């Protein structure tokens, strides 16, 4: 299960890096559960 979560987090992180600011905002809200997207979002600001 940990592997699946990591792979999902990586995919979300890649999606955030290639997303528009509005999409990043939405992804960040969804990422609160995993913590992956939120971290990437912070670094990109």
Handedness of CA 23, 4, 43, 14 (dihedral sign): negative
Model confidence band, residue 35 (pLDDT cutoffs 50, 70, 90): low
Could you report the per-residue pLDDT of 1-11, keeping only the tens digit for each? 456 556 666 77
- Average pLDDT score over residue span 30-41: 54
Tokens describing residue 15: 């999606």
Tokens describing residue 21: 């600011």
User: Exposed/middle/buried for 45, CB within 10 Å: 0-12, 13-18, 19+?
Assistant: exposed
Could you report the per-residue pLDDT of 9-32, keeping only the tens digit for each? 677 666 666 666 666 566 566 655
pTM (2 d.p.): 0.22
- Average pLDDT score over residue span 36-43: 54
What is the model's pLDDT at position 21? 62
């Amino acid at each position: 299960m940990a592997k699946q979560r990591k792979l999902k987090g990586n995919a979300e992180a890649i999606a955030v890096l290639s997303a528009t600011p509005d999409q990043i905002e939405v992804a960040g809200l969804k990422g609160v559960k995993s913590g992956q997207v939120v971290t990437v979002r912070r670094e990109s600001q």
